[in-house]
Each structure stands twice: as C-alpha cells, then as structure tokens.
Amino acid sequence: MAVMVKRAYKYRFYPSPEQAKLLDRTFGCVRLVYNRALEARTRAWAVDRRRTSYVQSSAWLTEWKRTDELGFLNEVSSVPLQQTLRHLQSAFIAFWDKRARYPRFKSKRRSQASAEFTRSAFRWREGQLTLAKMNAPLAIVWSRPLPERAEPSTVTVSRDAAGRWFVSLLVEDPTVTPLRPADNSVGVDVGITSLVTLSTGEKITNPRYERADRRKLAMAQRALSRKEKGSHNRAKARVKVARIQARVADRRRDHLHKLSTRLVRESQTVVIEDLSVRNMLKNHRLARAISDAAWSDLRSMLEYKAAWYGRTVIAASRFYPSSKTCSACGKSNNAMRLHVRMWTCLGCGREHDRDVNAAKNILAAGLAER
C-alpha cells in the first residue's frame, strides 16, 4: 500500500489589524521562549555538564508563565510556544549527530517571524481557517485549491521582511503518486553561465534574477543607508529593499521548481555533483553569482520530488575531476584552466564542450556508485 505524502500548501493572507497585532505578539513570544530555552540549556551544559531535553524545557516554560515578568506569555496560544521548544530539540539533535552547527539565537531583525499551530490550536471548517484566540477566520487568497477533502494537520503562519503574510497548510496529498518508470538517466552539471548542463547536451541558461534587479536594489540600499537609524523613514526604506529582494527570490524559486519538476518527470535517475557550496562561497569573486544560482535549493527540490514520484537522485563524488576527464576514453587533462570551455582530448582526439563532458562523466560516476 502506497504511503500518503504530506505536502505543504502555502498561501498569502491579509490579517485584520487585530489579527496582525495578535500574531506579532505571538511571534515575539515564540522568539523569546526559544532564546530563553537555548540560553538555559547552554548554561546547564556549561555549568553542570548536564544535557537537558524538551521535557525539561517545557517545565521551564510552565514556570516562566507563572512569573510576573513573563506572565504575558499566557496572552498567546500555548501551542506555538511548545512547538518552538520542539524545534529547538530537533536543532540540538542535529547538532549532536553532527549534521548542523550549534543552535543560534533568534534575531528580531534577521530571523523569520513564524509560529506553528497544531490541530488543537486552530479550527478548519468549510474551507475557513481560524487560529486559537481569534474570533474570525483568516482572509486567505486561495491561489490554488487544496486536495479534495484535505484536513490540515499543521498550520504555520509567517511574515517575511517585505511585510507579506503567509500561511502554510500541511495536508496529506493523494495526488502525489509514483510516476511510470522511465528508461533514461541524466547527469546534471551546474554552472553560472548555464544554470545546468545535461548529459544529453542540453544547456539551460541561468536567468540571473539578482543581476537583473541589481541596479534597483543598489539604489534602494543606498537610500536606506542615508536614513536615520530608528526613524520611520528608515523602516519604510528597509521594507522597500526587502520587497526587491523578495521579488528576486520568488522568481528564482519559481524557475527552480519548474526545472526540478521537469528533470524528475523525464528521468528515472538524476545524477548531480556533491558540491560543497559553503566552501565555494568563500571565493569572493564568484560568491554573488553562486548564491544567485541557488544550487543547494535545486538539489533539495530534486531530492524531495524524487522521493515523491519514485525516482532516484544520486550525488557523485565532489572529488571526481569530471570537467578534466575525457568522457570517451577516460584520459585526464590536468593542465586545463577554468576559462577553457572547449578542449580536445590528447588521448583519442575527441573535441569536448567542457560542461557537456562534465555532465556525461557525472552520470557515469553516479551510476557506477549505485
């Protein structure tokens, strides 16, 4: 029996002034509880070498609510506060398993404002969503329909730096089913000029959305720098910068979704290169272009969509010299510089396009590792 896939559907909504005020207060309380619990757990380890758990931090939350200093925590739903403690526990587990860095404190300016509500903290009735401690449902713009008879199990409300409000509904989606098996596999070489080059020889141009809006963004950032800190005009200028950045991010994400969906639908196996993007960003000449290409986001989309649709994604070793090895005879050309885009193999005389040759080698290396 097929396992039902849980999928998040994200929509924009427009809160009333009262709803916005309550959600702002909830975001602040979520951030405070997370930071207090992180501080307490860090101190417990530093002083007593004692590892604490979610259960202990939940008991701390109960004690904090009883104090005069933090009594305002009772004014918001308790569920998002408990959920942020669970997220902190997950962050510690990832750190202990050496999958992530030590948890960091949430910042009012830099961290995303969000709150997670489980089934006991919202009411879903006839397509309308009402959160705990609210008297009216949210005014959601249903840009696409939910699956038929879908019942949200978790609701996440967020506000981005541009001031836009979003609600994400986690539902079981019966429309996500494995695709028919395909006969082909494809190797994918990522780049800057061409976002991806396929082993079939096809090149998909990098839209470079950040570069397209760079001048507009620079002007908005200069205007922001001239505003007095703490002023109302500075706040408005900050939102203007955030809106430009959000537009770039939205267009980039849309392009990556379309590309990743196409690759997963067309190929049974997709082989990519296991790049260390974090280390590559240390190259200050290419850091902006690499960030704009968002290779990590593309890989993430490929992996979870492959899991949805019964496909396979393989990450070939990052240490394999895919660009410098002839895909026809296997001879390596170690003297080739980065600016060389076309080269001829000294072993077999085959002429190669650097990126297409790399994609072919990535495909062969990935299939060999299976």
CA distance 255 to 166: 20
* Marked catalytic residue, from 116, 189, 292, 303: 189
> Burial, 357: exposed, middle or buried (Cβ in 10 Å; 0-12, 13-18, 19+)?
buried
Asked if 189 is an active-site residue, the reply is: yes
* Marked catalytic residue, from 116, 292, 303, 355: 355
Asked if 355 is an active-site residue, the reply is: yes
Encoding tokens for residue 76?
A: 């918001």
* Marked catalytic residue, from 116, 210, 273, 303: 273
Encoding tokens for residue 351?
A: 């002429």
Residue 23 CA: distances (Å) to CA of 62, 193, 241: 21, 43, 23
The 3-class SS string of the chain reads: CCCCEEEEEEEEECCCHHHHHHHHHHHHHHHHHHHHHHHHHHHHHHHHCCCCCHHHHHHHHHHHHCCCCCHHHHHCCHHHHHHHHHHHHHHHHHHHCCCCCCCCCCCCCCCCEEEEEEHHHEEEECCEEEECCCCCCCCEECCCCCCCCCCCCEEEEEECCCCCEEEEEEEEECCCCCCCCCCCEEEEEECCCEEEEECCCCEEECCCHHHHCHHHHHHHHHHHHHCCCCCHHHHHHHHHHHHHHHHHHHHHHHHHHHHHHHHHHHCCEEEEECCCHHHHCCCCCCHHHHHHHCHHHHHHHHHHHHHHHCCEEEEECCCCCCCCECCCCCCECCCCCCCCCEEECCCCCCEEEHHHHHHHHHHHHHHHHC
Number of residues in the chain: 370
Q: Which residues are catalytic, by number?
A: 189, 273, 355
